[in-house]
Structure 1
Amino acid sequence: MSKRQSAYLTSLLSDPAPALDAPSPEEAPAPLPSPEAAAPAHRLASTALLARESALARLANGEVKQVTQLLLDPARVRIWPGNARYQAGLTEETCRDLIDSILAEGGQKFPVVVRRLADDPAYEYELIVGTRRHWSISWLRANNYPDMALLAQVQSLDDESAFRLADLENRARRDVSDFERARNYRHALKTFYNDRQNRMAERLNLSKGWLSKMLTVAALPDWAVAAFASPADIQLKVCYGLAQKLSALAEDAPQALKKAKAEASVIAAEQAERRKAGSPSIPSVDVVRRLSAATQDAAGEGESLFQANSAHGRLAVSVLSSNRNGATLRIHAGSGASDDEIVALVAEALTALTAKGKGVKP
């Protein structure tokens, strides 16, 4: 609003000039009604204009954000590749509850978040948050509800801000698996944070240790992922140990890794047969147990880096792996070795690792 307009509003709201000849007490008028009742129409209008000016000033100063919501054709909105959600897992079955809710409400209850595009003639917007809502509206438009529109909130976001917003949304979603988020974190670590885990943890307000575990799970090889019925079955609590083990085997025990890979192929084939027959899939706990057992079997066949027998000639101590994260030693039962003998053999194992250049660094 211009200075002229502001001055005009100020003059309208200012008190009128006092009369030159004040009336005597006898001539004084009766008490005035309340200000609201007595206020002339031009003063009420000017008050509304002033309130509008104040609101515009707060918006200009950044105290208030203007939010734009639109009804869009979902076909003109592409999915941002930085979103963690596993797109192939979105089906009528997995989105049925949301579809029914949208129908009951006559539309979405909560808008998706999009940003404008200027470099893609096929799309006008890019979806940052709300993949299930986008999929459900698209499905409804293709199934007897052609006029159903996507309610969207438009925001200006760079990629890193978009990633943080999408991550915050996905943390509250139980249908976004740990593995989906973990792979998303691995991509973001390289793309936005220059492989600096501490910086990423600070920006996302996450525990550094927890983020490190998620990134370990993200490193599960594709052949191991294929053994699970779905990526949604790969949860941190169940699969972190397996991810750690496979990472260590990749460096120190290729034969054990080969056996684990072969077992993963067998499990994947069984999962496919069960899906075809409509039978329950192999639970993730059993998948982890079988892959871990395959690596142990390979280690038992002599894959260890060091082996030492007790005085009775039976295997007492072996080293299964040694890498930057530490060494994995096994103390075998039934060797007949005393505690002092075991301690001496462990020391011998550490010396042997150091000689091979695989010693454990304190």
Structure 2
Amino acid sequence: MARKQSDYLADLLAEDEDSPSTLPSPEAVESASPVRERPRGTTLLSRESALARVATGEVRQVTQLLLDPARVRIWPGNARSYAHLSEESCRELIDAIIAEGGQKVPAVVRRVEGDPQCDYEVIAGTRRHFAISWLRGNSYPDMQFVAQVANLDDEAAFRLADIENRARKDVSDLERARNYAAALKTHYGNRATRMAERLRVSKGWLSKMLKVAAIPDAIVAAFASPADLQLKPGYTLAQALDDKVAAGVISRAAIAIGKEQAARRSKSQPVIPAPEVLKRLLSAAAGADGREALFAASSPLGRPMLTVQSANRQGVTVRLHSGSGADIDDLVEALKNALADLESQGKGLMR
């Protein structure tokens, strides 16, 4: 039978703790946290058995605290971006906490020193922290942040947060990839093999994640959201960027697409979907007749529709591709974007 994620996290904590955390607090709540799933039962015999297991060390005593989330900061080593959390993205969790009368699943925190504003930092449970903070500011001032205290160094904290985030669909591949890239240097001395062993992942998969992490922000900005850039297409794009000439052309195309995205948002129009953005970026470096394109745009069908082949004092050479599926409005908009992009490069008609 597959092990529960909670069991795996408990094992991970156990291997990095010499002894249970005991933190005196008037609001501390003591609870038994077994490494293995406890038998369900309420008889006197089962209770005596449970106490015996605690005494022998088979079950660890874990301290849980009821905290004010304002006194708890977010550990920066976590992949999840706290700044991108919102009431909307956490709505389901917020509603569940209200329905259950409080937070039922504790977060994992560790004590911090030297920070007058905070006593703890969140290792795993960033969304729970946000949800409780939001509730306290919106009609539920008595809500408490439930946390389990762990003694972890930074590397162990990173592994714990990573295990939890792997099961979360709302943590994007790009967020995790960049988190891995930072951890590779900080915790593993740039040794990818060692990192893969510690995370229990394949070196090949980790290598792809690290390559995606290197995609520049200017290119990521072409996508409607960083979360749209998933591992497989992101790796293909990262490989294309290995060519210096292609990288320059793709970067310029990304800037133009980013402007299109902004224009669409301002007009409340649908944003350009990720597959189309990827096609446009990958086709941007391929100009007509094998020459480098100064600008390239694809139709809504993802086919090349307009390419700027050259720009000099004599003028700008533009190729309109047949069979693109684009209509007149698409071509006019693409031409406007092309001219604006050339102006930004100092190659426009007004020079």
TM-score interval, normalised by the smaller of the two chains = 0.5 to 0.7
Flag as ranges the 4+ runs of structure 1 deviating above 6 A: none
- Asked whether the equivalents of residues 214 and 238 of structure 2 are also in contact (C-alpha less than 8 Å), the reply is yes
C-alpha distance 159-299 of structure 1, shift in aligned 2 (>3 A) = farther
Q: Which of the numbers 225, 229, 239 marks the counterpart of 1:234?
A: 229
Match of 1:120 in 2: 115
Q: Which of the numbers 53, 65, 72 marks the counterpart of 1:70?
A: 65
1:281 matched to 2:271? The reply is yes
Q: Which of the numbers 293, 297, 302 marks the counterpart of 2:287?
A: 297
Q: What's the CA shift for 1:280? A: 2.5
C-alpha distance 149-276 of structure 1, shift in aligned 2 (>3 A) = farther
1:72-91 → structure 2 map (5 Å cutoff): 72-91=67-86
C-alpha distance 259-144 of structure 1, shift in aligned 2 (>3 A) = same
Match of 1:268 in 2: 258
- Asked whether the equivalents of residues 225 and 231 of structure 1 are also in contact (C-alpha less than 8 Å), the reply is yes
Partners of 2:123 and 2:284 lie apart in 1 by: 41
Q: Which amino acid aligns with 2:198?
A: R
Q: Deviations over 1:21-40 (max 9, x none)?
A: xxxxxxxxxxxxxxxxxxxx
Q: What's the CA shift for 1:298? A: 8.5
Structure 1 residues 265-274 or 208-217, which shifts more? Answer: 265-274
C-alpha distance 281-133 of structure 1, shift in aligned 2 (>3 A) = same
Tell me the SS of whatever aligns to 1:66: strand
Partners of 1:185 and 1:172 lie apart in 2 by: 16
Q: TM-score, normalised by structure 2?
A: 0.66
Aligned length: 247
Q: Deviations over 1:102-141 (max 9, x none)?
A: 1111111211110011221110000000111111111111
* Unaligned residue ranges in structure 2 (runs of 5+): 1-47, 294-351
Q: What's the CA shift for 1:203? A: 0.6
Tell me the SS of whatever aligns to 1:215: helix
- Asked whether the equivalents of residues 177 and 235 of structure 1 are also in contact (C-alpha less than 8 Å), the reply is yes
Partners of 2:289 and 2:210 lie apart in 1 by: 26
Partners of 2:205 and 2:286 lie apart in 1 by: 27
Partners of 1:265 and 1:230 lie apart in 2 by: 14
Q: Deviations over 1:180-207 (max 9, x none)?
A: 1100000111111111111111111101
Partners of 1:257 and 1:56 lie apart in 2 by: 60
Partners of 1:197 and 1:302 lie apart in 2 by: 35
Tell me the SS of whatever aligns to 1:120: coil
Q: Deviations over 1:269-321 (max 9, x none)?
A: 12222233333221111111111111222992269xxxxxxxxxxxxxxxxxx
Say which one has the larger Rg: 1
1:258 matched to 2:253? The reply is no
Partners of 1:236 and 1:194 lie apart in 2 by: 24
- Asked whether the equivalents of residues 271 and 282 of structure 1 are also in contact (C-alpha less than 8 Å), the reply is yes
C-alpha distance 161-123 of structure 1, shift in aligned 2 (>3 A) = same
Q: What's the CA shift for 1:56? A: 6.7
Q: Which amino acid aligns with 1:172?
A: A
Q: Which amino acid aligns with 1:271?
A: Q
Q: What's the CA shift for 1:51? A: 9.4
Q: Which of the numbers 181, 186, 190 marks the counterpart of 1:191?
A: 186
Q: Which of the numbers 207, 219, 229 marks the counterpart of 2:202?
A: 207
1:249 matched to 2:243? The reply is yes
CA RMSD of aligned residues (A): 2.2
Match of 2:300 in 1: none
C-alpha distance 297-116 of structure 1, shift in aligned 2 (>3 A) = same
Partners of 1:140 and 1:269 lie apart in 2 by: 37
C-alpha distance 68-291 of structure 1, shift in aligned 2 (>3 A) = same
- Asked whether the equivalents of residues 54 and 60 of structure 2 are also in contact (C-alpha less than 8 Å), the reply is no
* Unaligned residue ranges in structure 1 (runs of 5+): 1-47, 304-362
